[in-house]
Amino acid sequence: MEYQSDLEIARGVSPLPIEEIARGLGLAAEDWEPYGRYKAKLTHGLCARTADRPAGRLVLVTAISPTPAGEGKTTTSIGLADALRRLGHKAVLALREPSLGPVFGVKGGAAGGGYAQLTPMEDINLHFTGDIHAVTAANNLLSALIDNHLQQGNALGLDPRRITWRRCLDMNDRALRHAVVGLGGAAGGVPREERFEIAAASEVMAVLSLAAGRGDLKERLRRLVVGQTGDGTYVTAGDLRGEGAMAALLDNALQPNLVQTLEHTPALVHGGPFANIAHGCNSVTATRTALGLGDIAVTEAGFGADLGAEKFIDIKCRQGGFKPSACVLVVTLRALKYHGGAEKGQYERADGEALSRGFPNLLAHAETLRDRFGLPVVVALNRFPGDGEDEVNRLLTACRSRGLRAAVSEVWARGGAGGEELARLTLEALEEPSTLRFAYEEELPLAEKAERIVTDIYGGAGVQFDPPARKTLAALQREGWGRLPVCMAKTQYSLSDDPKKRGRPTGFTVRVTDVKLSAGAGFVVVYTGEVMTMPGLPRVPAAESIDVDENGLVRGLY
């Protein structure tokens, strides 16, 4: 069979007009606003009404520790939802929006792949409905207000050396990690150091994704901490009177986006925080709306269960009142070989020993979901065309011998039809009792919450706090922020904070280098190892292969 790219496959399928997708969900004309033929925004009124409806069951899709290319969580989520609809269930997807950083970097888009994709793929991966641009604008408006306040006399006494608010950009650009602004003389502003982060890591993105409505959004924006005065008093966006204008910029972006899969399953795509440097979940509003519109909502948390799933449970479930009924753990043979010591270029070779050495990584994530969080688990082997039958069977047998449901997922090659076995096992898991447990209690001090995550979720020996980080944690504890959850910023490639430690490392210590209060989002960010909030481009960026022809057709997206 001739190979087709994701983009070619997507263009070979005719999407339904978005009004048909909306009608299939039982929506009236006043419940949605069209964005062209195949995209729509759901109204604030609809989202408020569905929040009061009986909720469907929630399936959380997560993964083992990934390779740099990712393991196909979005593809699996889409294929699973398509398969559930094939089996007669009213499934609705709730997924994150792609960031332009990975699209033009190394990982590619986030609209799925093969025959398990969202459409229109080009729109979703590039500008979509402008939500992330709105996040960037609102974030940088606050930065402009800060610098203008300094220029106009600094009545609040904000210390330029203690400004913690960062500008953002939805692009990988390492040159902006550390910068100086305000140069050019008296008319150019007050000189100070500045740092940029990618928009997906900004607190405004977290606020958009966690806000329960217009009022909650504005209140969260008001609480955003931008820095401190000389005596340590916090200065907020509310002090700068910026929350109203920021909310105005974000009002349209707060509405979830409605699109469809290649098999016409409805998908709410909204919010896009990264899971290694942010909380990694789509919006509370989209998930709640999906639960109100379908009998099963399929959602995804970024990267492995140590990152995305932990934050989904300890942050999003706490704030949004969600309770997953089952989890799907995505695994690939190449990732297991990667964790078993195989290097790039060797993943496609048959290597039972590497597979066995990498299997403990899968077990670590499965045990986290099942034993720590109390959720039924289904392992989904995302099968690649070159995967051998012997290794596939070997993995399935290993999973089942440890009491784990496991199915081969061939949704990339076959769409929903290739996910029916996975869907049946997921339906079985949904009938099991689900007793959601958090990784830590709210009353636990912040430092101990970080310790609990490292020891109980990552499997480490403990935490080493750099003196400034320990001092900040102690100050936040004294100042009354101790009940907030912690959002760990950590490499996605290892259970530890060292990406070179593959598999299931033990005895390691995680180094905490920095701590930041995200009062608007409602959590404390704990930075570990050498994780950065502004990624850089690789030696050969994907951007070099992306183009648009004279007819307006985009090429090179994947």
Catalytic: 528?
no
Q: Which two tokens stand for residue 527?
A: 């930075």
Catalytic residue among 138, 237, 275, 278: 275
Catalytic: 490?
no
Catalytic: 196?
no
Catalytic: 73?
yes
Helix 203-210 crosses helix 214-223 at what angle (to 10 degrees)? 150
User: What is the number of other CB atoms lying within 10 angstroms of the CB of residue 241?
Assistant: 11
Q: Which two tokens stand for residue 361?
A: 């990584």
Alpha-carbon torsion (281, 283, 287, 293), positive or negative: negative
Tally the C-alpha atoms within 13 A of residue 125's C-alpha that lie toward its C-beta.
29
Catalytic residue among 39, 41, 73, 449: 73
Identity of residue 460: G
Catalytic residue among 39, 57, 85, 96: 96
Catalytic: 412?
yes
Question: How far apart are alpha carbons 271 and 348 in whole angstroms?
Answer: 34
Nearest 5°: the CA angle 465, 471, 472 is 95
Q: In 3-state terms, what secondary structure has residue 26?
A: coil
Catalytic residue among 128, 274, 303, 312: 303
Catalytic residue among 50, 67, 74, 75: 75
Radius of gyration for the chain, computed over Cα atoms and rounded to the nearest angstrom: 23
How distant, in Å, are the alpha carbons of 201, 456, 477, 534 from that of 466? 22, 21, 17, 21
How distant, in Å, are the alpha carbons of 46, 327, 347, 479, 510 from that of 74? 26, 14, 21, 40, 29
How distant, in Å, are the alpha carbons of 292, 465, 483 from that of 513? 41, 7, 21
Catalytic residue among 384, 414, 513, 543: 384
E strand spans, 420-550: 462-465, 486-489, 509-518, 523-528, 547-548
CB 308 within 8 A of CB 301: yes
**Which strands, in side-by-side order, build the sheet including 523-528?**
462-465, 509-518, 523-528, 486-489
Q: In 3-state terms, what secondary structure has residue 352?
A: helix
Q: Cα 203 to the chain's mean position, in Å?
A: 13
Nearest alpha carbon to residue 401 among 366, 442, 440: 366
Question: How far apart are alpha carbons 304 and 61 in whole angstroms?
Answer: 10
Catalytic: 90?
no
Q: In 3-state terms, what secondary structure has residue 344?
A: coil
Catalytic residue among 373, 412, 508, 523: 412
Catalytic: 311?
no
Q: Return phi, psi of residue 374, to 5°.
A: 75, 30
CB 330 within 8 A of CB 382: yes
Question: How far apart are alpha carbons 174 and 26 in whole angstroms?
Answer: 46
Catalytic: 41?
no
Alpha-carbon torsion (301, 303, 305, 308), positive or negative: negative
Catalytic residue among 39, 85, 107, 516: 107
Question: How far apart are alpha carbons 384 and 336 in whole angstroms?
Answer: 13
Question: How far apart are alpha carbons 549 and 558 in whole angstroms?
Answer: 17
Please give the positions annotated as active site: 73, 75, 96, 107, 275, 303, 384, 412
